[in-house]
Chain A
Amino acid sequence: MADNNDEEPMADGGSGTGIVAPDDETPTWRERKERTEGLSRLTYEYFERARREDQDLRQESDYVERDVLAFPAWPHEMIRNLSLTSFFVGMILFLSATLPPHIGPPANPSSTPAIILPDWYLYWSFGLLKLGPLNPELSILGGETAAEGAKLMADRTYGVVANLVVVGFVAIVPFLNKGSARRPVEQPFWAAVGVFGVVFAFTISMLSIKNLLPIGSNLLLDVTFLLPFVAGTISYALLRSMQEGYMYDLNRRYYRLRPPK
């Protein structure tokens, strides 16, 4: 004490009560209370212990600072994962116990209801099964009409192959464009491809319920394939014309924050 007084005089004489004004790190009274019991107490102790062990490790003489800083898989990550898993398994058990599913009688394959549709999110696939008119007829194969086998593959096969084409395209897109753009105006073409896909998903769904829509079947087929192209073209033109002004504004704000050297 005496030494300190000589070198650096302090306002309170260097022998205060030890009470310091609260800063950001100081827990509030509410937080202190929350940590005194139950799960919050347990969690607090757990993390405090982990922090302490970490601190001890760092203070060991052979400690080397490494780049990788994270919780170890065991036990930290494992405990977290197990608790999440238990929660969701518990929810499934709880819901299945409280809401027993209605199980109807088995389907009767010897009669078909008048309106028969899959769930709505499968309409697009159902619609692809109705693309018979697009299945090219080859006169070289002989036969006067479609029913006489003038097609390279049956309409039934064609509809199934169409599913592969759509799924294949969706699978290829991430390899063609890695999606680094954060807003549609940055890459108008790929944004237009996206709009095409969304509109096509909608129109092909409409085609799948063509027997319920008050639109002629041929007109509906035309609209199914034209509307996505129209929507894609419009969105491309729109985004392309917006692009320059939008990017100018964006760049100006960027360089205002980080002026070029």
Chain B
Amino acid sequence: MPLDEDKYPVESDRRRFVKGVVGGAALAGVTTASAAAVNTATAPTGAGGGTTTFYAVENTDGPAPRGMPQIPVEIDSEGYLKGAWPEYEDGADAAVTEDYKGSGVDYSSAWFQYCGVQTYSGVYPEADQDNYFRYSDSGYDWHSDKGGDKIHIDDFQELGDPWREWNTSFGTRANGKPASGTWRSQDLEPAETMPIQLIRSQNVLDLAKEDEWIDASTAEGCVAWLNKCTHFCCVPGFKSIAGSANFGAADKIYCQCHQSVYDPFSIVQKSFVALPRPEKEG
């Protein structure tokens, strides 16, 4: 018998019952309160998103779950390169162009809703942005003095090496020339800038002869993609880092964070669950 037995009430049915009722009530209270707290602390779910089928530059190695989404390229009458933006109807979840240029592919703005890009102003389907590709400040040497200018198709010929001859100190010649740029992000801060890369290459011209979608989504051998690694959202580069040669990526897109590799000359169909765009305030 414990010495301090007389300090406590005797265990009885009545006492057990009261304990049960009090315990149950306390649990229910805590659960309700925490559910209410989580509800108020988290943002509303937002619009758009869901399972989306898209076309990507293929992910060939590394931990990335899928390829990076392709941006269909158009050239305006003056020769400036644009990324096509699908048509938006009021009240729709996303901007969608069905049967893009007769290729049978539905091109949707939800392709780009991953990795935080779904919160960028430019990815909202009704966003008031022009669709021109512009050179970014950080990129390839050949366009380092063009920061912010619109990318022109003749730049690939005029600036530096002609585009079929362009090469780096590592890897083999890619029959083409890459550029780094931004898209639908003018006058936005860096945290809302959509990075893109595009390549003008003979390989793309060859691919376009065989595939309707590639034919529709490229222009004069230019293929473009949203340059956000699908793994953990870094910004990779095509033939931009010499160390990529150790991972078989000297002629591919290589992400320096976790060594994911993408092949810009292999366009594949993938699907993913696009994240919803949060409601815009004001």
Contact = CB atoms under 8 A, between A and B. Distances in A.
A211 B195 contact: no
Interface in B214-239: 231-236
A217 interface: yes
Given A106-B191, A130-B63, A155-B62, 17 more contacts: A106-B190, A108-B190, A109-B193, A109-B235, A110-B193, A110-B194, A112-B257, A114-B256, A116-B257, A132-B62, A146-B61, A154-B63, A154-B65, A159-B63, A210-B259, A211-B243, A211-B247
Contacts of B247: 211, 217
A34 B182 CA distance: 73
A211 B63 contact: no
Give chain A's interface residue range (CB within 8 Å of chain B). 20 to 34
Given A114-B241, A132-B63, A109 B233 contact: yes
A156 B231 contact: yes
B64 A156 contact: yes
B234 A116 contact: yes
Interface string B52-96: 000000111111111100000000000000000000000000000
13 contacts: A106-B190, A109-B233, A110-B136, A111-B138, A112-B235, A112-B236, A114-B241, A147-B59, A155-B64, A156-B63, A211-B243, A217-B246, A217-B247
The binding surface of chain B is classed by DSSP as loop
A130 B59 contact: no
A60 to B, nearest CB: 24
Interface of B: 58-67, 116, 136-138, 182, 185, 190-191, 193-195, 231-236, 241, 243, 246-247, 255-259
Nearest to B257: A116
Interface of A: 106, 108-116, 129-130, 132, 146-147, 154-156, 158-159, 210-212, 216-217
A237 B106 CA distance: 65
A109 B236 contact: no
Given A130-B63, A132-B63, A156-B64, A110 B235 contact: yes
Contacts of B236: 112
Given A129-B63, A147-B59, A211-B246, A111 B258 contact: no
A109 B190 contact: yes
Contacts of A159: 63
A146 B67 CA distance: 12
B153 to A, nearest CB: 23
A212 B64 CA distance: 20
B261 to A, nearest CB: 10
Nearest to B115: A109
A155 B60 CA distance: 13
Given A129-B258, A130-B258, A212-B243, A110 B60 contact: no
A219 to B, nearest CB: 12
Contact of B60 (A108, A147, A156, A216): A147
A155 to B, nearest CB: 4
Q: Which of A108, A113, A129 has the most CB of B within 10 A?
A: A108
Contacts of B60: 147
